[in-house]
Amino acid sequence: MTGPPLTAAQAGLVACETCGLLARPASGGDPGVCPRCGAALHSRRHQSIQHTWALIIAAAICYVPANVLPVLSTSALGSTESDTIMGGVVFLYTSGSWPLALIVLIASIMVPLGKLVALSYLLITVQRGSITSNQERTRLYRMVEFIGRWSMLDVFVDTFTVALVQLQPLMSVEPGPGVVFFAAVVVLTMIAADTFDPRLIWDARVPAEL
Amino acid sequence: MKTIACPDCDLLQHLPDVPPGSKARCARCGRVVARRTSDPIDRPLALTITALFALIVANTASLMGLSVAGRHARTTIIGGCYEMWLQGQELTAVIVAFCAVVAPAGYILFMLTVLLAVRRPPAPQWIGRMVRWAESMEPWSMTEVMLLGILVALIKIAELATVQAGIGMYAVGALVLLFPAIMVSFDAGEVWARIAWVDGTVPPSGEGSPSGGPTR
């Protein structure tokens, strides 16, 4: 290919997001469906920036109760003790399994926060029309997409702890109100990563090149 | 040679013929744009059938058992979700059930259907929808996260009681290995190349320049 790099959008084409077929859109307003796989065609994900912001803000709101409210409460021999996510990390650390404490700390506290920060950074740079470090930003996006699922770790830990430790009246563990907020953070950030369109990172170059 | 647009940066580029066992990356952003495997249908099919059996065992056999002071308790995956539901965490139970059971099962069943149906050319159009559904299940299928979660739970509980891993646990372990093996050996491009198009035409063998699209 000769000349400056050209994107499909600049050439008036749309790449199907499902099967990758390069198709000519039906008309300006509605690109129609992919002739091969039948998925709806769109040059960029619909209202990507607005949707991603909405999901990030919702996730950030849920992040507070997810960390402040208890996720587990243990009743043993008449006494009840509630643990937050951080409390669970401290419990693992003090009981001698610091590698596990580190894994839970990274998966449950740092990854969700990192995802919120990374996606906000990507959105802000896209909105400001940044043209620098596009490759690094694309790599950051892929990392967010790849790592997101691991934050679900604590929800699984809580579920199986609750399921197993039901030895009334000796000892029982009940889920706390924080679990559902935490699960919501994970689900919302995963959807947010999916609604963000990485091609927007590269679109800012267009006016500079033409 | 065919022209493609990178899914991550939309750059138009010519894709050379990719020999089996290798992959091609976008010239600008480095995203893998084509990946060909040496046996794109039969190997993932064999792995998917194995995964189906592992899935059945993982969801029916007990995951782990616990005994303390002469009392025993054990749980399955869905039993864990049910306990969460009983304890008033209905939404969490649904999310866990989706990520631990529904999405992995959906992925395996859709892939199985695709891989069986695509063997008979021309592959019917509805396979495309199945590939799409399988791909949408993929990020939500969290077997490996669940396995780590179970191990952390076991270690936490081991402080309080004696725990044993059940057969279900080994089946979950097998699934954790099988899922990436299916994904690595599967080549969606091979399926797309065999599928009949929306308007009923048989796939053109030398798929090349941008197609005419709906207004052709």
Residue A93 sits at the chain B interface (C-beta within 8 Å): no
In 3D space, the residue among B183, B59, B208, B203 whose CA is nearest the CA of residue B131 turns out to be: B183
Amino acid in the structure at residue A158: D
Residue B1: pLDDT band with limits 50, 70, 90: low
Query: Cβ separation of B156 and A160 shorter than 8 Å?
Result: no
Q: How many CA atoms lie within 13 A of A11 on its CB side?
A: 21
Percent of chain B topping pLDDT 90: 38
pLDDT for residue B47 = 95
Chain B residues touching A102 at Cβ < 8 A: none
pLDDT for residue B177 = 96
Check whether residue A38 and residue A55 sit in a common domain. Answer: no
Check whether residue A39 and residue A51 sit in a common domain. Answer: no
Q: What is the pTM of this model?
A: 0.88
Query: Cβ separation of B29 and A180 shorter than 8 Å?
Result: no
* Burial per residue of B65-75, b for 16 or more beta-carbon CB atoms within 10 angstroms, e otherwise: bbebeeeebbb
Amino acid in the structure at residue B55: L
| Residue in the structure block whose two tokens are 């559902």 | A180
Is the sign of the CA dihedral B29, B33, B37, B40 positive or negative? positive
pLDDT mean values, one per 10 residues, chain A (210 residues)? 71 84 77 80 86 96 93 81 87 84 90 95 91 89 91 92 80 88 94 92 64
Check whether residue A106 and residue A147 sit in a common domain. Answer: yes
Check whether residue A119 and residue A196 sit in a common domain. Answer: yes
pLDDT for residue B41 = 87
- CATH class entry, domain B39-199: mainly alpha
pLDDT for residue B33 = 87
pLDDT for residue B210 = 45
Residue B203: pLDDT band with limits 50, 70, 90: low
Chain B residues touching A103 at Cβ < 8 A: 148, 152
Separation between Cα atoms, residue B15 and residue A98, nearest integer Å: 48
Query: Cβ separation of A167 and B214 shorter than 8 Å?
Result: no
DSSP three-state, residue A33:
strand
pLDDT for residue B216 = 31
Check whether residue A132 and residue A32 sit in a common domain. Answer: no
Check whether residue A33 and residue A85 sit in a common domain. Answer: no
Is the distance from CB of B154 to CB of B75 less than 8 angstroms?
Answer: no
CATH 1.20.140 domain span(s) along chain B: 39-199
pLDDT for residue B206 = 43
Compare all CA atoms of chain B with the CA of A183 and give the residue at the minimum distance. Answer: B92
Residue B28 sits at the chain A interface (C-beta within 8 Å): yes
Is the distance from CB of A160 to CB of B149 less than 8 angstroms?
Answer: yes
Whether residue B213 is predicted with pLDDT greater than 50 in this model: the reply is no
Structural domain boundaries enclosing A24: 1-43
Query: Cβ separation of B145 and A153 shorter than 8 Å?
Result: yes
Check whether residue A177 and residue A116 sit in a common domain. Answer: yes
DSSP string, B68-96: ETTEEEEE-HHHHHHHHHHTT-HHHHHHH
Top pLDDT among B202 and A173 is at A173
pLDDT for residue A54 = 96
pLDDT for residue A195 = 92
Separation between Cα atoms, residue A158 and residue B152, nearest integer Å: 10
pLDDT for residue B202 = 63
Separation between Cα atoms, residue B166 and residue B64, nearest integer Å: 5
How many structural domains compose chain A? 2
Contacting A residues, span 119-178, partner chain B, CB-CB under 8 Å = 134-135, 138-139, 141-142, 145, 148-150, 152-167, 170-171, 174-175
pLDDT digits (tens, 9 = 90+) for B26-79: 988 888 888 888 888 889 999 999 999 999 999 999 888 887 777 777 888 999
pLDDT digits (tens, 9 = 90+) for B111-136: 999 999 888 777 788 888 888 899 99
Amino acid in the structure at residue B37: T
DSSP three-state, residue A44:
coil
Separation between Cα atoms, residue B6 and residue B20, nearest integer Å: 20
Query: Cβ separation of B152 and A153 shorter than 8 Å?
Result: yes
Separation between Cα atoms, residue B207 and residue B75, nearest integer Å: 52
